[in-house]
Amino acid sequence: MNKSCHNSLKPIVEDISQWVPCTEILYKCPKCDTSFRILGSNERFCHMCGQKIDWEGIPTHLAESYQESDDYNEHKKFIQRLNEQIQKGKSK
């Protein structure tokens, strides 16, 4: 059996949905970077590498509509802050 199935990892924020009202947080596999855009938090294991995904305490939507910045660096900083909160367990 694949060892990665035993050790679950938190998903990584990939992007914020571009569909109005732009509140869905899109994730990817922390091991192989495969996107979970289709199934989102229903992805219990990565469909590419088999990594078990730990969704406990992971937000799937933002509380308010996200107004994407025209500044690419600001957008990336926002995603980085979300990832830092998840890794520290402060999401929710």
H/E/C letters for each residue in the chain? Answer: CCHHHCCCECCEEEEECCCCCCCEEEEECCCCCCECCCCHHHCCECCCCCCEECCCCCCCECCCCCCCCCCHHHHHHHHHHHHHHHHHCCCC
- Looking at per-residue pLDDT, the higher value among 10 and 65 belongs to 10
More confident residue, 87 or 70: 87
> Counting beta carbons within 10 angstroms of the beta carbon of residue 55, is it exposed (0 to 12), middle (13 to 18) or buried (19 or more)?
middle
Confidence (pTM) = 0.74
Res. 71 pLDDT band, cuts 50 70 90: confident
Is the predicted pLDDT of residue 69 greater than 80, yes or no? no
